[in-house]
């Protein structure tokens, strides 16, 4: 057994906690194959079953509790974490208000389940109800996958080896695609910094500088942002 494998088995609960916490927070990493592997290791007595369940449950509760607080407190930045059209969000909030228990339980088995906690906070689900449904959902979700690995550990080694890498690659591709769709936000930030920098160098009035910064962003697609900046610099 290599040193890395020995370290992973020795600190398995802590590593599992950090992995699930990152996944529930929104990182593009798979969790189901990891939990199945944990169940397989627990079946062979190389990893504690109770400690694995506690670590997974604690990570889910901590991460989804944060998302619930974001939705509950109504932070202005909360919409940046869940960019959806208003019609879809209205339907989701209506479903959450009418069927909060079923929605939160089923959402654990769907990609992007952390946003269900955000919607639960925005829908006004009380904290006791949220904690109850979140606890049941987290235990059901983690227990199901761990039980699969525990019961079928002798037939899972090749399957996990063949599926974990493609799943991880697919999640990373989706994550990068989302970043690429938001590239205009990064371009806008660069443009704003450059504009403010040259405003500080040139003796222009505050009103004129503010007008130039505002007009630089009047296009939603920001297709001509570079030409606007070049025209401003020529003046």
Spatial distance between the Cα atoms of 27 and 18, rounded to a whole number of angstroms:
11
155-158 contacts, C-beta under 8 A, 24 or more apart: 156/36, 156/37, 156/40, 157/40
Res 214: pLDDT = 47
Res 139: pLDDT = 92
Spatial distance between the Cα atoms of 235 and 232, rounded to a whole number of angstroms:
5
Res 204: pLDDT = 46
Cα Dmax for the chain: 74
Res 41: pLDDT = 86
Which residues does 115 contact at the CB level (< 8 Å), separation at least 6?
67, 81, 82
Res 152: pLDDT = 79
Q: Which of 67, 159, 73, 140 is nearest to 101 (CA)?
A: 140
Res 46: pLDDT = 83
CA angle centred on 11, ends 134 and 160, rounded to 5°? 70
**Does an H or E element contain 26, and which?**
none
User: Which tens digit of pLDDT belongs to each residue from 196-220?
Assistant: 445 554 444 444 544 444 454 444 4
Q: Which of 14, 109, 105 is nearest to 55 (CA)?
A: 14
Spatial distance between the Cα atoms of 213 and 218, rounded to a whole number of angstroms:
9
Res 216: pLDDT = 47
Measured in residues, the chain has a length of 235
DSSP string, 92-104: HHHHHHHSHHHHH
Res 106: pLDDT = 75
Kindly give the parts of the chain with pLDDT less than 70.
1-5, 7-8, 75-102, 111-114, 154-235
What does pTM read for this prediction? 0.60
Which token pair is 182? Answer: 């938001």
Q: Which of 219, 217, 212 is nearest to 189 (CA)?
A: 217
Q: How many Cβ atoms are within 10 Å of 115's Cβ, its own excluded?
A: 19
C-alpha distances out from residue 22 to 16, 19, 47, Å: 10, 5, 21
Spatial distance between the Cα atoms of 116 and 71, rounded to a whole number of angstroms:
10
């Amino acid at each position: 057994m290599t040193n890395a494998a020995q370290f992973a088995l020795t600190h398995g609960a802590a590593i599992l906690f950090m992995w699930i916490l990152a996944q529930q927070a929104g990182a593009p990493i798979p969790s189901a194959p990891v939990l199945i592997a944990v169940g397989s290791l627990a079946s062979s007595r190389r990893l504690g079953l109770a400690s694995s369940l506690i670590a997974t449950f604690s990570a889910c509760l901590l991460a989804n509790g944060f998302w619930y607080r974001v939705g509950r407190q109504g932070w202005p930045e909360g919409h940046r974490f869940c960019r959806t059209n208003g019609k879809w969000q209205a339907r989701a909030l209506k479903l959450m208000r009418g069927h909060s228990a079923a929605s939160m339980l089923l959402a654990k088995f769907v990609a992007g389940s952390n946003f269900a906690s955000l919607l639960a906070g925005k829908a006004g689900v009380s904290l006791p109800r949220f904690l109850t449904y979140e606890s049941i959902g987290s235990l059901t979700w983690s227990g199901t996958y761990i039980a699969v690995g525990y019961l079928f550990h002798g037939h899972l080694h090749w399957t996990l080896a063949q599926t974990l890498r493609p799943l991880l690659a697919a999640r990373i591709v989706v994550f990068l695609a989302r970043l690429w769709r938001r590239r205009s936000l990064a371009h806008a930030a660069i443009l704003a910094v450059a504009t403010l920098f040259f405003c500080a160098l040139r003796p222009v009035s505050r009103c004129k500088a503010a007008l130039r910064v505002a007009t630089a962003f009047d296009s939603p697609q920001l297709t001509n942002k570079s030409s606007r900046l070049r025209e401003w610099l020529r003046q």
